[in-house]
Structure 1
Amino acid sequence: MAQQYKHILVPVDGSEEAELAFKKAVAVANRNGEDTELRLLHVVDTRAFQNISSFDSSMVEQVTETAKKTLDKYIEYAKNNGVKNVSYSIEYGAPKTIIARDVPKEMNADLIMIGATGLNAVERILIGSVTEFVTRTAICDVLVVRTDLKQAN
């Protein structure tokens, strides 16, 4: 019998790769039954604001509002495509640990579907890839999405 995933986490950051992962996650959730939970996650990396001397809370609020608009569209897409149990959360902090450990533990995730990001070699050396970290340290299965639904067939 094929593996059944009932608690799927999809980190989204507004990138094309994250959208591909999200759309594939909708398809996987539908294949695994209507009781499958699909949770979208956006992490606001608060470290990005630490070095800004004129930092104020309105910057974080603007990022959060933009994320909410994107996530609301994703929720609508998922529901229009048959996923009944879909939600999202916005977290603040270090994306790597929040995606790999904190939220999967809290929601009892059995699968993380994450986009393969396009960091260049220098960025990977300096800051490390979130996707790479998640694949190494996640507390559940991880599927790295590189293709869209049409290319997968």
Structure 2
Amino acid sequence: MYQEYKRILAPIDGSKEAKKAFLKAIQVARRNEASLDIAHIIDTRAMQVGDGYEIIYTDDMSSEGKALLADYEKMAHDHGLEDVHTHLEYGSPKQVITEELSVDCKSDLIMIGATGLSAVERLLVGSVSDYVIRNAPCDVLVVRTDLENKLSE
């Protein structure tokens, strides 16, 4: 049985791992003539400073997120994709990806970068990709390699 994907969700966070996953998502979307949803989630847990700086902090993060999404949307269009949608969301990234975006976008595949966290960081905050693998309502592909299927150093 040949699986065709029609709605691909590619969460991005500005990391090298997310970019590798995104570039592969473009290729999969092209092969499947699928739409591509690009999502950036601002982790609201990082904004709890309580000194009135959260508004400035949020505005800065929103501006950076919008710029990142615009760059990735342009990259997708430059690679020949037309059906591209961007999403700027707020909350816990792992929950927004699995419980909101994948459902709202009707995703049948999530392509996500492998975690770059150390063992201690994973223990304290948990890995987004681990959570998505366990809880997503659709297929999940965790990307570890570049377009030539090589691990980067």
Instruction: Output the TM-score relative to the length of structure 1.
Output: 0.93
RMSD: 1.2
Q: Which runs of 5+ in 1 are unaligned?
A: none
Q: What amino acid does structure 1 have at the position aligned with 2:124?
A: L
C-alpha distance in 2, partners of 1:151/1:93? 32
In structure 2, what is the equivalent of residue 138 of structure 1? 136
Identical-pair percentage:
47
Q: Which runs of 5+ in 2 are unaligned?
A: none
In structure 2, what is the equivalent of residue 124 of structure 1? 122
Structure 1 residue 87: Cα displacement: 1.3
In structure 2, what is the equivalent of residue 24 of structure 1? 24
Question: Which of 36, 39, 48 is equivalent to 2:37?
Answer: 39
Q: What amino acid does structure 1 have at the position aligned with 2:26?
A: V
In structure 1, what is the equivalent of residue 14 of structure 2? 14
Question: Which of 74, 77, 89 is equivalent to 2:75?
Answer: 77
Q: What amino acid does structure 1 have at the position aligned with 2:74?
A: E
C-alpha distance in 1, partners of 2:2/2:25? 16
C-alpha distance in 1, partners of 2:133/2:147? 21
C-alpha distance in 1, partners of 2:25/2:137? 18
Count of matched residue pairs = 150
Runs of 4+ in 1 over 2 A off after TM superposition: 51-56
C-alpha distance in 2, partners of 1:55/1:103? 28
Structure 1 residue 82: Cα displacement: 1.1
Name the SS for the 1:14 alignment partner: coil
Structure 1 residue 120: Cα displacement: 0.4
